[in-house]
Structure 1
Amino acid sequence: MKTIFKGTEVLSCKGSKIQKMSRTKSILFLLFSFFYSLFSFAQQQDSTKVNQLDDVLVSAVRVTSKTPVSFSNMDKKEIKYRNLGQDIPVLMNYLPSVVTTSDAGNGVGYTGIRVRGSDATRVNVTINGIPYNDAESQGTFWVNMPDFASSVESLQLQRGVGTSTNGAGAFGASLNLLTDNYANKATGEISSSAGSFNTFKNTVKFSTGLMNDHFEIAGRLSTIKTDGYIDRGSADLKSYFLQGTYVGKTTLIKALVFGGTQKTYQSWNGIDAETLNTNRTFNSAGMYTDDAGNVHFYNNETDNYNQDHYQLHWSESLSDKWSTNLAFHYTKGKGYYENYKEDADMADYSLNPVGTVTTTDLIRQKWLDNDFYGTTFSAKYVTDDLNVILGGGWNKYEGDHFGKVIWARYASQSELGDHYYDDYSSKTDGNIFAKANYQFTEKLSFYGDLQYRNVKYKANSAETGLVDDNFNFFNPKAGLNYAFTQNSILYFSYARANREPNRTDYEGGNVKPEKLNDYELGWRFNTEKFQLNSNVYYMAYKDQLILTGRLDDVGNPIRANTEKSYRLGFEFDATIALSEKFTLRPNFTLSSNKNVDLAVDGEYYGTTKIAYSPEVIAGNVVVYKPIKGLYLSLLQKYVGEQYMNNIELPAAKLADYFVNDFNASYEIIPNKIFKSITITALVNNIFDKKYVSNGYMYDVYPYYYPQAGTNFLIGLNLKF
Structure 2
Amino acid sequence: MKSTFLILSSKRYNYYFRRFSFDFQNKVIKTKNLFLFLTLLVLSVSVNAQQNQVQQDSTKTEKLDEVLVKAVRVDADSPITHSNVSKEQLAKRNLGQDIPILLNYLPSVVTTSDAGAGIGYTGIRVRGTDATRVNVTINGIPYNDPESQGTFWVNLGDFASSTESLQLQRGVGTSTNGSGAFGASLNLLTDAFSENASAEISNSFGSYNTRKHTIKLSTGLLNNHFEISGRFSKIDSDGYIDRAFTDLKSYFLQGIYKDENTLIKALTFGNYERTYQAWFGLTAEELQENRRQNPYTYENETDNYWQDHYQLHWNERLNSNWSTNLGLNYTKGKGYFEQYKPEESAADFANLIEEDSDVIVRRWLDNNFYVINANVVYKKNTLEVISGISYNTYSGDHFGEVIWGSDLAPNTNIRDRYYEGDATKNDFSVFSKATFKLLEKVTGFVDIQGRFVEYKTNGVNSDLVDFVTDANFNFFNPKVGFTYKPSSSNNYYLSYARANREPNRDDFKAGVTENETLNDIELGWRFYKNKVSVNTNLYYMFYQNQLVLTGELDDVGSPIRATSGKSYRLGLEIDANIQFSKVFNTSTNVALSSNKNQDFNATINGEVVDLGNTNISFSPNLVIGNSLNFNPLENLQVSFLSKYVGEQYMGNIDNEASKLERYFLNDLNINYEIKPNGIFKSIVLSGLVNNIFNKEYVSNGYFGSFDYDDTSSPTGTTTGYYSGYYPQATTNFLVGATLKF
Separation in 2 of the partners of 1:385 and 1:611?
43
Mark the runs of 5 or more structure 2 residues left unpaired by the alignment. Answer: 1-60, 706-720
- The amino acid that maps onto 1:556 is S
Between stretches 124-133 and 273-282, larger displacement belongs to: 273-282
Verify: 1:110 aligned to 2:121, yes or no: yes
- The amino acid that maps onto 2:318 is L
Match of 1:648 in 2: 654
Could you tell me how far 1:324 is from its partner in structure 2? 0.3
Separation in 1 of the partners of 2:235 and 2:382?
49
Give the conservation status (yes or no) of the 8 Å contact 1:370–1:397.
yes
Could you tell me how far 1:53 is from its partner in structure 2? 4.9
Give the conservation status (yes or no) of the 8 Å contact 1:97–1:116.
yes
Verify: 1:691 aligned to 2:688, yes or no: no
Give the conservation status (yes or no) of the 8 Å contact 1:610–1:643.
yes
- The amino acid that maps onto 2:582 is E
Q: Secondary structure, in 3 states, of the residue corresponding to 2:633? A: coil
Match of 1:327 in 2: 327
Verify: 1:507 aligned to 2:497, yes or no: no
- The amino acid that maps onto 1:485 is S
Match of 2:150 in 1: 139
Between stretches 601-610 and 474-483, larger displacement belongs to: 601-610
Separation in 1 of the partners of 2:466 and 2:223?
56
Match of 1:584 in 2: 586
Verify: 1:483 aligned to 2:489, yes or no: no
Verify: 1:525 aligned to 2:536, yes or no: no
Match of 1:707 in 2: 728
Mark the runs of 5 or more structure 1 residues left unpaired by the alignment. Answer: 1-49, 286-296
Match of 2:476 in 1: 474
Match of 1:665 in 2: 671
Give the conservation status (yes or no) of the 8 Å contact 1:53–1:181.
no
Give the conservation status (yes or no) of the 8 Å contact 1:70–1:158.
yes
Could you tell me how far 1:348 is from its partner in structure 2? 1.6
Question: Which digits, 9 at most, give the CA deviation of each residue in 1:126-152, with x for residues without a partner?
Answer: 000000000000000010110000000
Could you tell me how far 1:464 is from its partner in structure 2? 7.3
Could you tell me how far 1:282 is from its partner in structure 2? 1.2
Separation in 2 of the partners of 1:234 and 1:414?
34
Between stretches 327-336 and 436-445, larger displacement belongs to: 436-445
Match of 1:563 in 2: 565
Q: Secondary structure, in 3 states, of the residue corresponding to 2:172? A: coil
Q: Secondary structure, in 3 states, of the residue corresponding to 2:123? A: strand
Separation in 1 of the partners of 2:529 and 2:216?
37
Q: Secondary structure, in 3 states, of the residue corresponding to 2:66? A: helix
Match of 1:290 in 2: none
Q: Secondary structure, in 3 states, of the residue corresponding to 2:611? A: strand
Give the conservation status (yes or no) of the 8 Å contact 1:161–1:174.
yes
**Percent of pairs with identical residues:** 58
Give the conservation status (yes or no) of the 8 Å contact 1:261–1:307.
yes
Separation in 2 of the partners of 1:437 and 1:571?
25
Question: Which digits, 9 at most, give the CA deviation of each residue in 1:411-439, with x for residues without a partner?
Answer: 22311331111110010000000000011
Match of 1:123 in 2: 134
How is 1:199-214 mapped onto 2 (pairs within 5 angstroms)? 199-214=210-225
Match of 2:439 in 1: 441
Match of 1:221 in 2: 232
Give the conservation status (yes or no) of the 8 Å contact 2:550–2:704.
no
Match of 1:496 in 2: 498
Q: Secondary structure, in 3 states, of the residue corresponding to 2:151? A: coil
Q: 1:186 aligns with which of 190, 197, 205?
A: 197
Match of 1:365 in 2: 362
- The amino acid that maps onto 2:455 is Y
Match of 1:546 in 2: 548
Verify: 1:300 aligned to 2:300, yes or no: yes
Give the conservation status (yes or no) of the 8 Å contact 2:427–2:453.
yes
How is 1:187-266 mapped onto 2 (pairs within 5 angstroms)? 187-266=198-277
Verify: 1:674 aligned to 2:680, yes or no: yes
Match of 2:386 in 1: 389
Match of 2:313 in 1: 313
Could you tell me how far 1:627 is from its partner in structure 2? 0.5
Could you tell me how far 1:345 is from its partner in structure 2? 1.2
Question: Using a 3 Å threshold, how does the CA distance of structure 1 residues 262 and 254 change in structure 2: closer, same or farther?
Answer: same
How is 1:388-467 mapped onto 2 (pairs within 5 angstroms)? 388-412=385-409, 413-460=411-458, 461-462=460-461, 465-467=467-469
Separation in 2 of the partners of 1:181 and 1:669?
23
Give the conservation status (yes or no) of the 8 Å contact 1:464–1:503.
no
Separation in 2 of the partners of 1:608 and 1:384?
49
Question: Which digits, 9 at most, give the CA deviation of each residue in 1:597-655, with x for residues without a partner?
Answer: 01124332111000000000000000000001101000100000000000000110000
Match of 1:341 in 2: 341
Q: Secondary structure, in 3 states, of the residue corresponding to 2:101? A: helix
Question: Which digits, 9 at most, give the CA deviation of each residue in 1:71-114, with x for residues without a partner?
Answer: 00000110001000000000000000000000000000000000
Could you tell me how far 1:491 is from its partner in structure 2? 0.3
Separation in 2 of the partners of 1:137 and 1:430?
18
Give the conservation status (yes or no) of the 8 Å contact 1:302–1:339.
yes
Give the conservation status (yes or no) of the 8 Å contact 2:156–2:270.
yes
- The amino acid that maps onto 1:427 is K
Q: Secondary structure, in 3 states, of the residue corresponding to 1:410? A: coil
Question: Using a 3 Å threshold, how does the CA distance of structure 1 residues 590 and 445 change in structure 2: closer, same or farther?
Answer: same
- The amino acid that maps onto 1:313 is H
Separation in 2 of the partners of 1:670 and 1:433?
51
Match of 1:76 in 2: 87
Give the conservation status (yes or no) of the 8 Å contact 2:385–2:435.
yes
Give the conservation status (yes or no) of the 8 Å contact 1:371–1:398.
yes
Verify: 1:617 aligned to 2:623, yes or no: yes
Separation in 2 of the partners of 1:51 and 1:669?
33
Match of 1:284 in 2: 295
Question: Using a 3 Å threshold, how does the CA distance of structure 1 residues 230 and 352 change in structure 2: closer, same or farther?
Answer: closer
Between stretches 549-558 and 514-523, larger displacement belongs to: 549-558
Could you tell me how far 1:506 is from its partner in structure 2? 1.4
- The amino acid that maps onto 2:524 is G
Between stretches 452-461 and 678-687, larger displacement belongs to: 452-461
Separation in 1 of the partners of 2:655 and 2:557?
21
Could you tell me how far 1:558 is from its partner in structure 2? 1.0
Q: Secondary structure, in 3 states, of the residue corresponding to 2:97? A: coil
Question: Which digits, 9 at most, give the CA deviation of each residue in 1:645-697, with x for residues without a partner?
Answer: 00000110000000000000100000010000011000000000000000001
Could you tell me how far 1:54 is from its partner in structure 2? 4.5
Q: Secondary structure, in 3 states, of the residue corresponding to 2:111? A: strand
The TM-score, its normalising length taken from structure 1, stands at: 0.90
Could you tell me how far 1:277 is from its partner in structure 2? 1.1
Number of aligned positions between the proteins: 657
Could you tell me how far 1:698 is from its partner in structure 2? 3.5
Q: Secondary structure, in 3 states, of the residue corresponding to 1:645? A: coil
Separation in 2 of the partners of 1:75 and 1:353?
55
The TM-score, its normalising length taken from structure 2, stands at: 0.88
Q: Secondary structure, in 3 states, of the residue corresponding to 2:212? A: strand
Separation in 1 of the partners of 2:360 and 2:143?
31
Between stretches 188-197 and 377-386, larger displacement belongs to: 377-386
Give the conservation status (yes or no) of the 8 Å contact 2:353–2:408.
no
Could you tell me how far 1:352 is from its partner in structure 2? 5.2
- The amino acid that maps onto 2:71 is A
Match of 2:162 in 1: 151
Q: Secondary structure, in 3 states, of the residue corresponding to 1:440? A: strand
Give the conservation status (yes or no) of the 8 Å contact 1:313–1:328.
yes
Calculate the aligned-residue CA RMSD, in Å.
Answer: 1.1
